[in-house]
Chain A
Amino acid sequence: MNDLADGYVTADGRQIGPVVMEMKNITLRFGGVEAIKDISFDIRQGEIRAIIGPNGAGKSSMLNVISGFYVPQDGEVWYQGSRRAPMKPYEVAQQGIARTFQNIALFEGMSVLDNVMTGRLTNMKIGMFWQSIWKGKAEREETENREVAEKIIDFLEIQAIRKTPVSRLSYGLKKRVELARALAAEPSILLLDEPMAGMNVEEKEDMSRFILDVNDEFGTTIALIEHDMGVVMDLSDRVVVMDYGKKIGDGTPHEVRNNQDVIDAYLGVAHD
């Protein structure tokens, strides 16, 4: 079913598009340690793709390869039909790939609105001269981007804290603001590194709803790392399972759940 080039419709009626990003035989080493060993998988347009695995499996390294922090020693990253040359993280961002971090990485000295507006920076191109005059071009550009930012702020229901400094917010809200910042860039692929780490059930439910809504409403392709199996199984269309830097499973949540290697990795296996 995954071989269909133009996408397919899932059992519950979700439209999945063609492949937008493909990782081919990625190998990443730190000195003698192989964090990722010869892994290949793809991400399709409009799907929610989960990457799971026990601690130290190389999930975050994989995300860092996609977002340009690490350059793999071997392998190719294909994005939108062409091979991606090794590039800096900011160049990856300019290509329309946004991400959030496992540990919150917001700009603590700025307000929520300013943080969300930083997500629009790749779209703001007015030169320094016009910015220093402000009236006219710069103000117009600011207003246009503010409108997009406000749309995201509305969407994630953080209007009330718009002008609050980020440092005053609670953990759950900070996570949401970070999602808002990533969404403000209107990315084609959104990478979420443990979006629900450290949250209680209610906050997890909120966050899950937002992730599904984002996928639904904006058609954003989402790749996420998550430890909560319930969440992963409910949200994702396809799951990659990693263990010790190797891929041990790939498929729908149902397929992965019944994969013997995956069960062994999570529950342990008797060695004799």
Chain B
Amino acid sequence: MFYREAGDFSTSYPEDSQTFPIKFDRYRYYLVLFTAIVIIPFFINDYWVNSLFLPFLIYAIAAIGLNILVGYCGQVSLGTGGFMAVGAYACYKLMTSFPDVSMVILVLLSGLITALVGVIFGLPSLRIKGFYLAVATLAAQFFLVWLFNRVPWFYNYSASGQISAPERTFFGIEISGPNTQAWATYLFCLMFVIASAYVARNLTRGSMGRKWMAIRDMDIAAEIIGVNPLRAKLTAFAVSSFFIGISGALFFAIYLGAVEVGEVFGIQKSFLVLFMIIIGGLGSIFGSFAGAAFLVLLPVALKIVGVDWLGWPTDIVAHLQLVIVGGLIIVFLIAEPHGLAQLWRVAKEKLRLWPFPH
């Protein structure tokens, strides 16, 4: 009743394989896009942007990136924090070396540099699988953080060892530095999110995505139908790292402004993004958004409920958050390994028939 697909007939293959084949879905998607681009910028302030929107958008890009590697290609990675750090430091070096180049280009370049680094650390995936690969990527995580801590060239020999984003503008509007406006940073990140989701969706639904999924589901059979496993895995590492690098660059330049690598891009970050895609749904672009939204919203919601309404001490609420996230991971792994995205899919299937399920 809510969910009509009667009268929706695909008359061509492109129509049949579009992202939202059901009209209702398509309109809902346009509505969300419209709200995000046109309505939200008028209503947000610094608090909402910094506690909710920016982290959600930036983590969504990171989650899309990791989902391509883990969810689509089946290669477990614990190096997300390290790759985000590569994006951040690449962006910092580029921003300070080329002050006149547009930030869009610099962020994309940071992504490309991260993609290269990702390919190098993806090379072991040819020989090792599963847990062993996870450990190998863990090495990348620690090595990269160590590298950015110890080699002063990366932080331009600053005394504090931190990197901080210089002021940059985009079409004359400040988007980094201390004097930014909430809506400007929001829209700048939103632009990257929309582009990333579009590209990720197109790559995963076409021949590239089928190669990745074939490797994930059964690598021997994938090879027998003509998939070169080396190329498939390395492209997955490259594309994944590209998105993660972009998110790292935005995280540093737009969101935080100043970064101490061990604190911001430590192993916790790797786990956080991994939890996002596990809770959101492995192998689903929508799941990346759902997981990012969930894990960004949860602390804010808990703080509002626990501290503001119930008057509990802040540290208890913070610990409660850890407990809840840990519990949820276990619940999802056992009950619904495909995460929120699968719950959403089931709900849609139910809604198609509601209220007459027979």
Instruction: Give A residues with C-beta under 8 Å from B.
Output: 67, 88-90, 93-94, 98-99, 101, 105-110, 114, 117-122, 124, 126, 128, 131-134, 138-139, 141-143, 146-147, 150, 181-182, 185
Contact = CB atoms under 8 A, between A and B. Distances in A.
Interface of B: 12-14, 17, 199, 202-203, 205-208, 210-211, 213-214, 216-218, 220-229, 235, 239, 283
A118 B210 contact: yes
6 contacts: A93-B226, A98-B224, A106-B218, A122-B226, A128-B208, A133-B202
Contact of B223 (A89, A108, A138, A139): A89
Contacts of B205: 134
Given A121-B211, A132-B199, A181 B206 contact: no
Contacts of A94: 226
Contacts of A128: 203, 208, 235, 239
A146 B16 CA distance: 11
Given A109-B216, A109-B217, A146-B13, A119 B202 contact: no
6 A-B pairs with least C-beta separation = A93-B226, A107-B217, A105-B221, A122-B226, A124-B207, A134-B202
Contact of B213 (A114, A131, A142): A114
A131 B221 contact: no
A118 B214 contact: yes
A105 B13 contact: no
A118 B225 contact: yes
Contact of A67 (B13, B17, B202, B224): B224
Contacts of A114: 210, 213
Given A108-B218, A133-B202, A142-B206, 17 more contacts: A88-B228, A89-B223, A90-B225, A90-B229, A94-B226, A99-B224, A105-B224, A106-B218, A118-B225, A121-B210, A121-B214, A122-B225, A128-B203, A132-B199, A134-B202, A138-B202, A142-B14
Residue among A99, A110, A147 with most chain B CB within 10 A: A110
A141 B239 CA distance: 21
A150 B12 CA distance: 12
Contacts of B199: 132
A107 B214 contact: yes
Contacts of A109: 213, 216-217, 283
B93 to A, nearest CB: 26
B13 A90 contact: no
Given A118-B210, A131-B203, A132-B202, A181 B225 contact: yes
A98 B225 CA distance: 7
Nearest to B338: A109
A67 B223 CA distance: 10
A209 B99 CA distance: 70
A93 B207 contact: no
Contacts of A106: 217-218, 221
A90 B226 contact: yes
Contacts of A119: 225
A89 B214 contact: no
B281 to A, nearest CB: 12
B349 to A, nearest CB: 12
A254 B81 CA distance: 68
B208 A185 contact: no
A113 to B, nearest CB: 9
B223 to A, nearest CB: 4
